[in-house]
Amino acid sequence: MNIDYENIERDINDGTLRRNLEEELIAGFRQIQQAGERLPLASHYAAQIAEIINRNATLTEALKFELYQEVLEAVEAARVAVLGEEIEN
């Protein structure tokens, strides 16, 4: 994950974190799917990612909640994108 910890608050608020993470997740989910594995559940995966980011960031409780919401949206969108590719092919 490529996280800009110096600007994380801004990136959470303006959607940059979500967009960047979604792009990274799409690539990773494609690899997982090509290996024949199932994609992780969005809520579980989002919680793990948010926990990793929180270890390296100093955020208020409100921002931690917003971070999780942004990560969850990114994971859900990436899953839909990759699963949609499978259906189209």
Q: What is the 3-state secondary structure (H, E, C) of 47-70?
A: HHHHHHHHHHCCCCHHHHHHHHHH
Q: Tell me the pLDDT tens digit for each residue of 40-65.
A: 999 999 999 999 999 999 999 999 99
The encoded tokens of residue 64 equal 């931690």
Q: Tell me the pLDDT tens digit for each residue of 9-23.
A: 999 999 999 999 999
Rounded Cα gap, residues 12 and 44, in angstroms: 20
Helix H segments across the chain? 8-14, 16-34, 42-56, 61-88
Tell me the pTM. 0.90
